Amino acid sequence: MAITSERWIDPGRLQAQIDDLAEFGARGETGVARLVYAPEWVAAQNQIAAWMTEAGLRVERDTVGNVWGYLDGRQSGEPLVVSGSHIDSQNPGGRFDGALGVLAAINALAALRERHGQPERTLAALSLVEEEASRFSTANFWGSRAIIGRIGAEEPKRLRGYDGVTMAEAMRDAGLDPNRIPEAKRDDIGVFIELHIEQGPYLEQADLPVGIVERVTGYRQYLVTLEGEANHAGTTPMDLRRDPMAGAAEIISGVVNTAHRMGRPAVTTIGRIHAQPNERAVIPRQVSFTVDARSPLPGQRERLLARHEALIREVADRRDLTLSLRVDSDRRPVLADPVLVEIIAEAASEAGVPAMRMTSGAVHDSMQLAEIARMAMIFVRSRGGISHSPEEFTSTEDAADGTEVLARALYRLGYA
């Protein structure tokens, strides 16, 4: 609900590009399946490059396929001010996750150029190749990892997609040379601002179009394996069982309750579970499940993890189950740059876009780029908090509000 006399962003042009881009890999009415390096992805990335050129930006492609659109500044040699996101999607996902951030950056730079001409510092719109891991299960952040130099030398040959094709083959199919990945690494980025749909319900609940991300969640992901004794379901008395399913149920209930009682923004999820032998009439020998625990507040995250680990060990011990507790990934919360957060807040205020400061429970390319640049994020309201689904929806007005804030923040960074 913007209250300003004059807007820099044209909502119609932005919405038309959202709709046009959704044609590449369209699935059904509103779905998109645009997997990295697939033909529809190549066509979409070409369309992005064309829109950048149309916006008066100087287009470059790097060696992994990221597309950069520069609005060159008067001062050369200054660190770049970059905004963007990714154009690949879940399989299928929706029209907004990733794509909106790329189009917002292009539309913001187009508006700045039209309205204010050449900036002092070089601004860039960035269309990253891959974030979703929807074709290669462990490829995620392929584009941003290439930029920060975090792609392993063996990954192109080792990663194999759900379609059986290796990453190296997929890159060659898209006209790229996997041996040249290291050339995509950069050290000239000063600022990275990512606009993204929220992927959660907080903005909708607050009835606000825009959020300013102050911190991105930290998490730890465990694989818990409990081993007991397989036995006949009919003949083994309850008091003599070492039943890992009963132990798993107690742990799952416990960790979910712990996170719930700790209160927002702590969350804990059990997404995967497997029993062995997984037979109806056999007490399982082994049950394994994942625990994904997150909080953007460093102290809360540590408390949450400590309580989870204590509970898991206590239950396994009391039930005489053999425990394997494996940490599969662990990431501390990442803070957005406080100066950037203030600049974005001032930009929102100037644009008359009501916004709140918030935390991100999801992980984004910006967390990778935070390793080499000052980082911030702008969230845009997403209906029902739904993402990774054809049901994703963000209104034209909200998308334009977010882009307006982005444009005015980039103005402060590039023209002042």
Cβ of residue 142: shortest distance to a second copy, in angstroms?
Answer: 18
Q: Is 352 left (phi over 0), alpha (psi -120 to 50) or beta?
A: left
- Binding residue for a second copy, selected from 26, 59, 206, 245, defined by CB under 8 A: 245
# chain residues binding a second copy, by CB under 8 A: 61
> Is the distance from CB of 176 to CB of 168 less than 8 angstroms?
no
| Residue 37 binding a second copy, by CB under 8 A | no
Q: Which residues pair with 355 in a beta bridge?
A: 210
Tokens encoding 376: 């911030």
Strand 218-227 relative to strand 286-295, pairing: antiparallel
Q: Which residues pair with 324 in a beta bridge?
A: 225
Piece of the chain touching a second copy by CB under 8 A; list 6-14, 55-63, 188-196, 239-247: 239-247
| Residue 207 binding a second copy, by CB under 8 A | no
Piece of the chain touching a second copy by CB under 8 A; list 157-165, 169-177, 381-389, 397-405: 381-389
* Site residues (CB under 8 A) for a second copy, limited to 286-305: 287, 290, 292, 294
Q: Which is nearer to a second copy, 250 or 302 (CB)?
A: 250
Angle between helix axes 396-414 and 338-351 (nearest 10 degrees) is 120
Q: Cα separation of 129 and 42, whole Å?
A: 10
Site string for a second copy, 320-359 (x = CB under 8 A): --------x-------------------------------
CA distances (Å), 38 to each of 41, 132, 134, 280, 303, in order? Answer: 5, 14, 12, 42, 43
| Residue 252 binding a second copy, by CB under 8 A | yes
Cβ of residue 207: shortest distance to a second copy, in angstroms?
Answer: 16
Cβ of residue 201: shortest distance to a second copy, in angstroms?
Answer: 6
* Site residues (CB under 8 A) for a second copy, limited to 208-227: 217, 219, 221
> Is the distance from CB of 95 to CB of 16 less than 8 angstroms?
no
Cβ of residue 152: shortest distance to a second copy, in angstroms?
Answer: 21
H or E segment to which residue 283 belongs: strand 282-283
Residue type, 295: S
Cβ of residue 134: shortest distance to a second copy, in angstroms?
Answer: 11
Piece of the chain touching a second copy by CB under 8 A; list 75-83, 174-182, 284-292, 399-407: 284-292
Cβ of residue 290: shortest distance to a second copy, in angstroms?
Answer: 5
Q: Which is nearer to a second copy, 59 or 245 (CB)?
A: 245
- Binding residue for a second copy, selected from 201, 303, 346, 383, defined by CB under 8 A: 201
Q: How far apart are the first and last CA of the chain?
A: 27
Q: Which residues pair with 288 in a beta bridge?
A: 225, 274
Long-range CB pairs of 203-207, under 8 A, 24+ apart, other chains included: 203/356, 203/358, 203/379, 203/380, 203/381, 203/382, 204/381, 204/382, 204/383, 204/384, 204/385, 206/356
The residues of the shown chain that bind a second copy, judged by CB under 8 A, are 198-202, 217, 219, 221, 231-240, 243, 245-246, 248-250, 252-253, 256, 259-260, 264-275, 278-284, 287, 290, 292, 294, 328, 360-363, 385-388
